[in-house]
Amino acid sequence: MTAKETSATTKPSVPNGRYRWTIVALLFAATVINYVDRQMIGVLKPTLSNELGWSESDFADVIFYFTMAYAFGFLVFGKVMDVLGARYGYAVAFVIWQAAHIAHGLASSVTQFSIVRFALGIGEAGNFPAAIKAVTEWFPARERAFAIGIFNAGSNVGAIITPLLVPVIAVAYGWRAAFVITGVVSFVWLVAWLIVYRRPAEHPRLGAEERAWIDQDAEPVVTAVPWSKVLRMRGTWAFALGKFCIDPVWWFFLFWLPGYLGDRYGLDLLSFGPPLVVIYLLSDVGSVAGGWFSSRLIHRGASVNFARKITMLICATAVLPVFIVQSVDNLWLAVLIIGLATAAHQAFSANLYTIVPDLFPRAAVGSVTGIGGTAGAIGGMAMAKYAGFVLDNMNTYAPLFAVAGSAYFIALGCIHLLSPKLAQVRIESRQELAGA
């Protein structure tokens, strides 16, 4: 069945039950924690650079090893989620990344930070494969983009909390304590996750009406999908190349934006908080709005292919003003331009993640998400090295913003060329559908 046929089929009415949104709330909270842990090094960059004597290339190396581990971890955890399931797979990833995050408080050299960032990258890579797997289990196709948009907004909330909370802790107790305190408190989420999460078919609190709504997109049972098959499908590479293009841009914003605001507008550890809050509040709006917009188009009868791609085209266009931000002297105008770009990124990203369950059966979602995440992290590794080289040798952010402004059109072009119709893969028939 094609995506267009699926959207046109008569579906059950929306149920009274809302338990699936409790699952999204937990995914949102985990993503907040994930991004607090991830972004802290960017917020603390000026402090760490001054205290430990880091150059731009030293900082880029630390980020490079995180992204290297993230690339490997995404690939591994993608498969882990398909084997262990979201409940236990997520728990394993969470424990690894929190232990590594706390260990940052013990690091002193570039080498030590690279080691703990590597471990953090391994664990944090499990977040999105687990969350996408959970959304695929708990939501029908017409709600997935919206659900993904909501939990993905947690990345922006994490990015908002970090510059507000972490400088206060760091000033009061030191930057080492900031890593330890945030890590220990975060384990409350793990307890809640293990108590609450089950697959819909196994959950005692899920009503029959809501279960029928979740199961409305009938798909054949596929118990295992080998990588050898997934890697031969064009849909896998459509997602992977999209991630390769856009993930480095987001990581550039996440890790280098505090330093850029400090260098360009003279802000410090305490004063760059409000501009970052505005940027990531706009990102939150983009994440939810992007998922809502394509889901709304599908509700109104548009095909999945049209809804996802027109939304991504709008987002790619909205990023374009970032080309000129380096020449903008007014701080708050620059904040609005960057905020529009980050909002468009998050809306684009929500729809990009959603094409995985659009194309693939549930048994393959974790593996495909992992492959795409690995591709995105490889792009992030290249961006880290490029950023360090540009800033050390050219002393300008303009080339980096130029990459950001063009990446989304390239990503959308790759997606459309490799998957022009977003036609659903029929793995159960054992046909190698290269036109996925």
In this prediction, residues 52-72 reach a mean pLDDT of 90
Spell out the domain ranges in the chain: 18-215+226-429
What's residue 254's pLDDT? 82
What's residue 224's pLDDT? 62
What's residue 8's pLDDT? 41
Measured distance CA(65)–CA(54) in Å, rounded: 15
CA distances from 136 to 210, 315, 356, 358, 360 (A): 15, 24, 9, 9, 10
DSSP 282-293: HHHHHHHHHHHH
Instruction: Identify the DSSP state of 421.
Output: S
For the entire predicted model, the pTM comes to 0.74
Is the predicted pLDDT of residue 9 greater than 50, yes or no?
no
The answer to whether the CB of 283 falls within 8 A of the CB of 346 is yes
Q: Count H helices and E strands in the chain, helices first.
A: 18, 0
Indicate the pLDDT class of residue 152, thresholds 50, 70 and 90.
confident
Judged on CB neighbours under 10 Å (0-12, 13-18, 19+), 292 is middle
Is the predicted pLDDT of residue 426 greater than 80, yes or no?
no
Q: How would you label 66-91 residue by residue, b for 16+ Cβ within 10 Å and e otherwise?
A: bbbbbbbbbbbbbbbbbebbbbebbb
Indicate the pLDDT class of residue 392, thresholds 50, 70 and 90.
confident
Sign of CA dihedral 50, 155, 133, 356: negative
Indicate the pLDDT class of residue 1, thresholds 50, 70 and 90.
very low
Is the predicted pLDDT of residue 99 greater than 90, yes or no?
yes
Phi, psi (rounded to 5 degrees) for 198? -145, 160
Instruction: Please provide the size of the chain in residues.
Output: 436
Indicate the pLDDT class of residue 200, thresholds 50, 70 and 90.
confident
What's residue 337's pLDDT? 97
What's residue 434's pLDDT? 40
What's residue 432's pLDDT? 41
- The pLDDT mean for the chain works out to 87
What's residue 287's pLDDT? 83
The answer to whether the CB of 257 falls within 8 A of the CB of 235 is no
Among 85-99, 257-271, 373-387, the range with the most confident prediction by mean pLDDT is 85-99
Give the pLDDT confidence of 413-422 residue by residue, as tens digits. 999 999 999 8
- Radius of gyration over every alpha carbon of the chain, rounded to an integer in angstroms: 21
What's residue 219's pLDDT? 59
Biggest CA pair distance of the chain: 63
Is the predicted pLDDT of residue 228 greater than 80, yes or no?
no
Give the pLDDT confidence of 167-188 residue by residue, as tens digits. 899 999 999 999 999 999 999 9
What's residue 153's pLDDT? 83
Output the CATH code of domain 18-215+226-429.
Answer: 1.20.1250.20
What's residue 367's pLDDT? 82
Measured distance CA(90)–CA(151) in Å, rounded: 14
Instruction: Identify the DSSP state of 217.
Output: S
The answer to whether the CB of 93 falls within 8 A of the CB of 370 is no
CA distances from 141 to 11, 132, 307, 355 (A): 11, 12, 12, 10
Alpha-carbon dihedral angle through residues 28, 33, 36, 39, given to the nearest 10 degrees? -80
Is the predicted pLDDT of residue 10 greater than 60, yes or no?
no
Instruction: Give the list of residues 6+ apart from residue 136 with CB closer than 8 angstroms, or none.
Output: 144, 356, 357, 362, 365
Is the predicted pLDDT of residue 42 greater than 90, yes or no?
no
